[in-house]
Structure 1
Amino acid sequence: MTLKSHLELGYVARAHGLRGEVAVRAFDPESETLDYVPRVLVRTRAGVERVLRIESVRPTPKETLVVFEAVQGRQDAEALVGATVLAFREDLEPPSEDEYFQGDLVGLTAVDESGNVLGRVEELWSTGEVPNLVIRAEGKEELVVPFADDFVSTVDIPGGRLVVKPPEYLEAEGDEREGSED
């Protein structure tokens, strides 16, 4: 699996003020990436991509207010609402050993400890202390697995897969269903 040259950070949630500032909502609420990258790639809903240099950043509790050099006024800012904001991998410090960019996890094939394919990581939800991997496969129930050592034993980004142990409550539900068929 080839590493992506850009990693999704979040999206432009709204225009802010009259001078072209935008509010970027990060997919990882703890991310401080916008504080130190010099530029981003912005992909509009229509698929149009633009490289925008960051002029200034102001964090708020829910989002980050960003001024891009080429965005002049509210109309320009409103045209970016809904656009995905991506960082250039080359502008980021590489993750430490046993750490991963969340964007690199999306697209990996999830297998159980026996090697059975459970599905593909389609998205991550950052709603608690650890992100949750959302694994989907056609014809199967969606699986949500915490990205923690107890549930994810192996991550092989170059090989395009990770080994997961579904949470106990899912296994318990499966046992109850099997017992109800008697």
Structure 2
Amino acid sequence: MSPPPLLELGYVSRAHGLRGELAVRPFDPASETLGTVDRVRVRTRAGEERDLQIESLRPTPKEDIVAFEGVESRTEAEALVGATVLVYREDLEPPAEGEFFQGDLIGLAAVDESGASLGQVEEIWATGEVPNLVIRAPGRQELVVPFADDFVPSVDMAARRIVIRPPEYVEVGRREDGPEESEQ
């Protein structure tokens, strides 16, 4: 199975200024990939796709401020808010031996350490210092797992499989002995 030609990099979080610039937030907060490519593909929430050439880029701590050729006004920029930003695999340096692109985790079969199926990695959320894998399976509750060694002991790209050590969940707001009674 050959890898897909495009990798999800992030999303357009907002329009920036009046001249059509966009704030692009990468899924991996440490990613510098957008600064290494000349073009991207954007996929709007409606599913429309188009290629855009990067005219200029200014990195900030949480996002990149990007000007694209052909996006000249705030109105044009606002139409792209929420769009997924993808990069062409052919425009990137290949990963080193034993490494992989984070976007290649999407679609992997997720299993626990005993080999029991947990579902499939369907999304990656960047909500903190480490990305979170979103694992879904029909008839099961969504599982969100930090992509860290404690929770992901191994990734086997050749077998398209990831081993997950799910965090234990504690039900918040429920006490074993029931609610306290108030004295009147």
Q: Same fold (TM over 0.5)?
A: yes
Please give the secondary structure, in 1, of the residue aligned with 2:153.
strand
Q: Which amino acid aligns with 1:141?
A: Q
How far has the Cα of 1:5 moved from its partner? 0.9
Contact 2:29 2:129 in 1 (8 A): no
How far apart are residue 150 of structure 1 and its match? 3.6
Alignment of 1:161 with 2:161, yes or no, is yes
Hey, which of these two has a bigger chunk of helix by percent?
Answer: 1
Does 2:91 align with 1:77? no
Conserved? CA contact 1:2–1:158, under 8 Å: no
Q: Which residue does the alignment assign to 1:118? A: 118
Question: Highest Rg: 1 or 2?
Answer: 2
TM-aligned CA distance change 1:138 to 1:10, over 3 Å: same
CA distance in 2, matches of 1:26, 1:153: 24
Identity of aligned residues (%): 69
SS of equivalent residue, structure 1 residue 148: coil
- Structure-2 change in CA distance of 1:158 and 1:52 (3 Å): same
| CA separation of 1:163 and 1:88: change in aligned 2, threshold 3 A | same
Q: Pairwise CA RMSD of aligned residues?
A: 1.9
Greater mean deviation of Cα atoms: 44-53 or 118-127: 118-127
Q: Which residues of structure 1 form unaligned runs of 5+? A: 174-182
Distance 2:131 2:20 in 1: 32
Distance 2:128 2:99 in 1: 18
Tell me the matched-pair count.
170
CA 53–28 in structure 1, closer or farther in 2 if over 3 Å, else same: same
Aligned-pair CA distance for 1:10: 1.2
- Displacement of 1:77: 1.4
Residues 71 and 124 of structure 1, relative CA distance in 2, 3 Å threshold: same
Q: Which runs of 5+ in 2 are unaligned?
A: 171-184
Counterpart in 1 of 2:132? 132
Give TM-score scaled by structure 2 length: 0.82
Q: 1 CA distance for matches of 2:21 and 2:7? A: 22
Change (3 A) 1:124 1:112: same
Residue 58 in 1 paired to residue 64 in 2?
no
Question: In structure 2, do the counterparts of structure 1 residues 78 and 166 end up closer, same or farther at CA, with 3 Å as the change threshold?
Answer: closer
Q: TM-score, normalised by structure 1?
A: 0.83
CA distance change for structure 1 residues 156 and 25 in 2, over 3 Å: closer, same or farther?
same
**CA separation of 1:18 and 1:129: change in aligned 2, threshold 3 A:** closer
**Counterparts of 2:43 and 2:145 in 1: how far apart (Å)?**
29
